[in-house]
Amino acid sequence: MKILVTGGAGFIGSNFIKYLIRNNPDYKIINLDKLTYAGNLENLKDLNDNKNYKFIQGDIGDEKLINKIVKEVNVIINFAAETHVDRSIANPKAFIETSVLGTYTLLKSALDNNIDKYIQISTDEVYGSTDSETFSEYSPFLPNSPYSASKASADLMCRAFHSTYGLNTIVMHSCNVYGPNQYPEKLIPLVITNLIEGKKVPVYGKGHQIREWIYVEDFASAIELTLKEGMGGEVYNIGSAQRLQNIEVVKTILSHMGKGEEEIEYVKDREGHDFRYAVNSSKIRSELGWKHTKQFQSGIKDTIDWYINNKEWWSKLKSGEYMEYYKKQYLQRK
């Protein structure tokens, strides 16, 4: 199998590539990544000498480059996206360019080159917020941020290319993913690294927003299974049913790291902050036999240990450009 992975230098993409090669050493993978602030080739340095792995720096919106690469593969898995909601509020255009126009470019090239399978990695945020129910694959899209709106648009484009042209597309909606190599603007790595540095932990509002959490290798296993057995035109929700308030996540990390609640700094809530995400993942479990294996308490401990042991990796990211962003987005909300 020859696979193009776009956005493969980011958190989920890099973990997936390592997982896939570990379990399928004969697969050939081309990793295309623009290397924006969240793309980091250090995530994949162990593969530098692997003859079945190749990295290309580039943009999924570059039609000429995409057509050249797609001729060499038979599967596309698209992780490429601008991902942080706060950044989408500040600059929606970048999200539209990557998720909407970039996805179109990939789909058009996939169609023109008779690709066997196209998998779109998406998010549960496309469904919007809910007080109590869980979202199925048939729930309506009600995105509330430019980020989730751009992802929903890309998902619908995948559906259209399947329905109109017969392209073998699959869309995967995941709950919140955590684990090693996650960029430290996200909640869990931000909390962990701030505590290691002796800094306060910023929490939006009172931290009562509820999120569902899955360990990155469990999500990688779902993608691998879908790659091998998923049906064209289908949508699969990926979740763990492990749902926690953000403040519970923070307090769990504090407990594991031997810190007290005095380390919390409550800041003004962000605009349009969704209250609760929750997906029903019974479809992929019943139809493909997938299951997650990592419980949150175990996964968060492994994640904390990784950040403690890899300070050199993340300390560079929390200097310079990142810190300016951090100050602007968080400290001004006090």
- Cβ atoms of 45 and 18 closer than 8 Å: no
Q: What is the mean pLDDT of residues 302-311?
A: 98
Q: Name the average pLDDT for the chain.
A: 92
- At 86 the pLDDT is 65
Maximum Cα interatomic distance, the chain, rounded to a whole number of Å: 57
- At 333 the pLDDT is 38
Strand ranges (DSSP E) for 45-116?
53-57, 75-78
Same domain, 146 and 198: no
- At 93 the pLDDT is 86
Same domain, 16 and 114: yes
Same domain, 142 and 195: no
Q: What is the mean pLDDT of residues 220-227?
A: 98
- At 90 the pLDDT is 67
Same domain, 72 and 221: yes
Same domain, 64 and 91: yes
- At 256 the pLDDT is 98
| Assigned domain for 304 exists | yes
When divided into structural domains, the chain yields a total of: 2
Q: Which positions are annotated as active-site residues?
A: 124-125, 147
**Beta-ladder partners of 28:** 2
Answer whether 0.85 is exceeded by the pTM. Answer: yes
For residue range 161-193, what is the model confidence (pLDDT) as tens digits? 999 999 999 999 999 999 999 999 899 999 999
pLDDT band with cut points at 50, 70 and 90 for residue 321:
low
| Assigned domain for 278 exists | no
- At 327 the pLDDT is 47
CATH code, domain with 28: 3.40.50.720
**Token pair of 153, please?**
């648009």
For residue range 109-127, what is the model confidence (pLDDT) as tens digits? 999 999 999 999 999 999 9
CATH code, domain with 328: 3.90.25.10
At residue 330, does pLDDT exceed 60?
no
Identity of residue 284: I
Give whole-number Cα distances, 177 to 53, 61, 238, 276, in Å. 24, 26, 10, 15
Rounded distance, CA 333 to CA 129, Å?
Answer: 23
Same domain, 28 and 120: yes
For residue range 57-97, what is the model confidence (pLDDT) as tens digits? 999 999 999 999 999 999 999 999 876 666 767 677 888 88
- At 56 the pLDDT is 97
| Assigned domain for 282 exists | no
pLDDT band with cut points at 50, 70 and 90 for residue 332:
very low
| Assigned domain for 223 exists | yes
Same domain, 196 and 100: no
| Assigned domain for 286 exists | no
- Cβ atoms of 303 and 192 closer than 8 Å: yes
Identity of residue 129: S
| Assigned domain for 19 exists | yes
Q: What is the mean pLDDT of residues 238-259?
A: 97
Same domain, 188 and 247: yes
At residue 32, does pLDDT exceed 90?
yes
What is the domain range of residue 256?
A: 181-211+242-273+295-333
| Assigned domain for 285 exists | no
| Assigned domain for 289 exists | no
Rounded distance, CA 229 to CA 290, Å?
Answer: 11
Tell how strand 243-245 and strand 210-215 pair up. Answer: antiparallel
- At 75 the pLDDT is 98
Same domain, 256 and 115: no
Same domain, 260 and 128: no
- At 91 the pLDDT is 75
- At 2 the pLDDT is 98
Same domain, 224 and 195: no
Same domain, 228 and 97: yes
